[in-house]
Amino acid sequence: MNQYQEAIQNYKENVGAFQEISPDFTKAYNDFTGVCFSAGSISEKNKHLIALGVSLASQDEYCILYHTMEALHQGASDREVYETLQVAAALRGGSAFSQVTLVRHALDEFKQAIQ
């Protein structure tokens, strides 16, 4: 077992321990996510690629590992996983760049206040 498999196993063990504390919540959560990730108009593979992109953008390491593994299990290629990473990188970079209007207006306002 490699370090990434160990991390997922560790996560599952801790979810199991939490389930003993809060079985109703854990069951409801597992049922909910099971429905969310089941095939529908979007395939299971693409749902895991979407989740991987969100996980990358939010820097959730356990979800990055889990959804990479699940995307592969559902037949995703290395290229699809890397393109998902590229989209997440564009989104994160885009969120910073999209603030250009706020920064320009703030500069104008602050410069006027200083003068």
Domain boundaries, the chain: 3-114
Please say if the pLDDT value at position 94 is more than 90: no
pLDDT at residue 97, as a whole number: 86
Give the pLDDT of residue 34: 96
Alpha carbons 40 and 104: distance in angstroms, whole number: 44
Q: What is the mean pLDDT of residues 75-83?
A: 97
Three-state SS across the chain? Answer: CCHHHHHHHHHHHHHHHHHHHCHHHHHHHHHHHHHHCCCCCCCHHHHHHHHHHHHHHHCCHHHHHHHHHHHHHCCCCHHHHHHHHHHHHHHHHHHHHCCHHHHHHHHHHHHHHHC
What percentage of the chain carries pLDDT values higher than 70? 100
Note the pTM of the prediction, 2 decimals: 0.83
Q: Is the pLDDT of residue 41 over 90?
A: yes
Mean pLDDT of 52-72: 95
Classify domain 3-114 by CATH number: 1.20.1290.10
